[in-house]
Chain A
Amino acid sequence: MKKYTRFICSLSAAMVLSIVTSFPGAAQAAEAKAKAKPAELPIKVSPYKKRPEENAKSVAEGRVIYENACIYCHGVEAKGDGPVAFYLSRDTAPRPRDLTSGIYKFRSTASGELPMDEDIFRTITRGVTGFMPGFEGMAPADRWKLVYYVKSLVPDFKEVTDPQIIKMVGTVIPSSAVSIRRGYDVYQQFKCWECHGGGGRGDGKKASTLKDDWGFPLPPRDLTRLSSFKNGSAPADVYRTVMAGFDGGAMPSYADFFEGSEKDVWHLVNYVRSLSE
Chain B
Amino acid sequence: MKKATFWQKARCLASSVLLAVLTIPILFITSVKEAEAVPSFARKYDMSCNVCHTRQPRLNPYGQRFMENGYQLPGTADGGRKEKHLLGGETNGATLDEISNYMAIRLRADIQQGSLREKVDGVSEDPDIIFPRTVNIFFAGTAKKDISFFFEAEYDTQDPAESAMIFERSMLIFDNLFAPNNGTVKIGQFDPSALYSFPTHRQQLNPIKPIAETGTFPPEINRIPVLPLAFSSKMFGLTTGGLASGAANSQPGEEGFAILPFEPYLFNAPVQKGVSVHGRVFGNSLLYQVGVVQKMTAEETPQTRWDSYVMLRYDVQGAFSNFQVSGFYYTASKAAMPTVNMGSGPIAADETVDWNRYGLAARWQHKAWDIYGTYIADTIDKPVFSGGMPLGGASTWETDASGISVEADYLLTDKWMLGARYDQMKAGGLIRGMPQAMNAAWDQDLNQDASLLALIGKYYPAPNIGLYARYHHNLESSVKLPSAMGGDEHPATNLTSMFIVGVDMAF
By a beta-carbon cutoff of 8 Å, the part of chain A in contact with chain B is 65, 67-73, 75-77, 79, 81-92, 127, 129-138, 222, 225, 227-228
Chain B contacts for A225, CB-based, 8 A:
33-34
Option from A82, A91, A135, A228 in Cβ contact (under 8 Å) with B414: A91
Q: In whole Å, how far is A70's beta carbon from the nearest beta carbon of chain B? A: 7
Q: In whole Å, how far is A214's beta carbon from the nearest beta carbon of chain B? A: 14
Chain B contacts for A137, CB-based, 8 A:
72-73, 76-82
Query: Which of A77, A83, A86, A91: most chain B CB closer than 10 A?
Result: A83
Q: Residue of A at shortest CB range from B51? A: A88
Interface membership of chain B positions 273-286, coded 1 if the CB is closer than 8 angstroms to chain A and 0 otherwise: 00000000000100
Option from A65, A67, A86, A129 in Cβ contact (under 8 Å) with B46: A129
Beyond the given pairs A84-B60, A86-B367, A87-B411, 10 more chain A to chain B contacts, judged by CB atoms under 8 angstroms and listed by A's residue number, are A65-B75, A68-B181, A68-B284, A72-B60, A76-B318, A87-B55, A90-B414, A135-B73, A135-B78, A227-B33
Chain B contacts for A90, CB-based, 8 A:
368, 411, 413-414
A81/B72 in contact, CB under 8 A: no
Compute the total of residue contacts between A and B using a CB distance below 8 Å.
122
Chain B contacts for A89, CB-based, 8 A:
50, 414
Would you mind naming 22 contact pairs between A and B with Cβ atoms under 8 Å apart?
A67-B284, A72-B61, A76-B318, A77-B319, A85-B320, A86-B368, A87-B53, A87-B55, A88-B50, A90-B414, A127-B47, A130-B47, A131-B47, A133-B47, A135-B73, A136-B81, A137-B78, A137-B79, A137-B81, A227-B33, A228-B33, A228-B34
A70-B62 Cα distance, complex, nearest whole Å: 9
- B106 CB–A CB distance under 8 Å: no
Chain A contacts for B81, CB-based, 8 A:
134, 136-137
Interface size class of B (residues with CB under 8 A): 35 or more
- B483 CB–A CB distance under 8 Å: no
Chain B contacts for A72, CB-based, 8 A:
60-62, 65, 74, 317, 322
Q: In whole Å, how far is B66's beta carbon from the nearest beta carbon of chain A? A: 9
- B45 CB–A CB distance under 8 Å: yes
A84/B62 in contact, CB under 8 A: yes
Known contacts A68-B75, A69-B75, A137-B78: A83-B47 contact under CB 8 Å: no
B interface SS class? loop
- B36 CB–A CB distance under 8 Å: yes
Chain B contacts for A67, CB-based, 8 A:
284
Q: Residue of B at shortest CB range from A139? A: B76
- B326 CB–A CB distance under 8 Å: no
Q: Residue of A at shortest CB range from B72? A: A137
A84/B51 in contact, CB under 8 A: yes
B50/A127 in contact, CB under 8 A: no
Q: In whole Å, how far is B314's beta carbon from the nearest beta carbon of chain A? A: 15
A73-B244 Cα distance, complex, nearest whole Å: 58
Chain A contacts for B50, CB-based, 8 A:
84, 87-89
- B100 CB–A CB distance under 8 Å: no
A32-B51 Cα distance, complex, nearest whole Å: 40
- B496 CB–A CB distance under 8 Å: no
Chain A contacts for B46, CB-based, 8 A:
127, 129-130, 133-134
- B233 CB–A CB distance under 8 Å: no
Known contacts A68-B75, A69-B75: A131-B51 contact under CB 8 Å: yes
Chain B contacts for A135, CB-based, 8 A:
73, 76, 78
Q: In whole Å, how far is A234's beta carbon from the nearest beta carbon of chain B? A: 15
- B48 CB–A CB distance under 8 Å: yes
